[in-house]
Structure 1
Amino acid sequence: MKSNKCMVGLLLMVMGLFAVQAAAADQEVVVFAAASTTNAIADIGELYAAKGAGPIKTSFASSSTLAKQIASGAPADVYLSANKKWMDFLEKKNAVDKATRFDLLGNRIVLIAPLKSSIDKVQVNDALDVAVLLGSDGRLSMGDPDHVPAGMYGKKAMEKLGLWNQVQGRLAPMKDVRAALVLVERGEAPLGQVYATDAAISKKVRVVGMFPTDSHPPIVYPVAAVAGGKADAAAAFLDFLKSAEAKAVFAKYGFEVR
């Protein structure tokens, strides 16, 4: 008799699990993700939908813009930030589910130039003359260092290396890191500071220097479910981000998978 009760209990648990999975599969997952993850998350979303797990709707922008939108009540289920600051911002406002938060990815900061630029490879250190590389009227394209994570990391690195004074009056601060990439692709800026993953997807720029990893805080991409969103659907997608399939996509685009 006791054995039968155990079997019934187990059966109910399994049925409940399938019910949750089925409910999640019927729900659209709205993912707010940092602009630098655009290609990877788009590919992962297609894989996720192809498995019948549910449709994915994405919104890509700078982490700061997305965080502020979520804090203002924008309907999202998952938030993927390019730094801890903006995830902490939402956590303090109880706008994300702290229990679901984990560090997903890492990245590198690089110096890029247009593909046909005459600028050769350089060592990014305290002896680098950025002003000479920029020329008489050129500007350094980067994410706005006051708001955009890539720009914030870049500013920290250049301050530590003693290069910030050379460039702070010669910036082209962009709304996100992809916009900074485009400016260099078009040849409208002789140099840009972006993530290594952004440089890797472009055939119109080349990396001319790498910022030392110890010149700035570790680049970490945390992810979490948004409070008040579709919890089951968010949990299912967060689990998929940990899968071997998703990790392979991130690795393909040059991310450090945690």
Structure 2
Amino acid sequence: MAINLDDRYPGRAGGKTLDYPQGSFKNRTSPNAQDGTFLEQDWANDMLAFFQALMSDAGMVANNVVDTARASQYFDALVKTIKDNAIPGATFAEVDALAADQGPIIVTDMGGMLWTWVSTAYFTGYRNPLCATIPQHFAATARAWEMPVTGGVWSESDPKQRRLIAWFREQGLTVASGSWAKGWGRIADLGGGDWKAPDLQDVFFRMAGTDADTANARSAGTFQTDQFRAHAHAGFTPYGNVGASGTGRVTGNNDTTTGSAGGAETRPENTAVRPVMLI
């Protein structure tokens, strides 16, 4: 609906440019020339419309006082319009107390993350859309918006922990208390609103897919023990007689086995990160 000056006043306005994509005003070339831009109601009203739209959107009424740089209703209307259309911010306690959806909210003391309203069989309220995501960092302790996943007990009475508990229940990632095990992405029902949290310390992450040993699909959160890939060593020529069992063990006066090497686990080079989940 805005006016393009060079379309409305061909030859009497500057053409469209990157600086003025709707055309621009130009002066007449001499006092008596008629080649300057017209001063008429259409373009003036086109300009006024912007400022009056600001006032209207902000719900303000003109006070009939000329604006100045120190007191400008138009500037105040612009600021109010921006604020009214900005995503609101609140603390975790304020967001946790809300009983109805008020649109997305930035939770200022939870990493400045954007939370949205959730309503499921297990939780109703505001929650981080990235709830249960596992970040990687070296902080000495879990931050305000994170929960340790070190096998502790989570309680539904805790406003932060209940959000994670609900997420695991929504995903069906729960087991009975007697079936809980370290390394699994599962929580266990301890009764009374308490749940055993996952313990993801000292394990590596592997993308779910088809297990190479069984050809079975791996589901997210399942645990797998360590293992060496099947392999053979370089040829070994015994000194003496090979045992009848064919095990490669030398018998007779030279009876012996190969020595042990390595430690308590199989692992690549690695760097330890904090075991936490986003709330």
- TM-score, normalised with respect to structure 2: 0.27
Q: Which has the higher strand share?
A: 1
Which has the higher relative contact order, 1 or 2, with Cα contacts under 8 A spaced 6 or more apart?
A: 1
Q: Which has the higher helix share?
A: 1
- Which structure would you say has the larger Rg? 2
- TM-score, normalised with respect to structure 1: 0.28
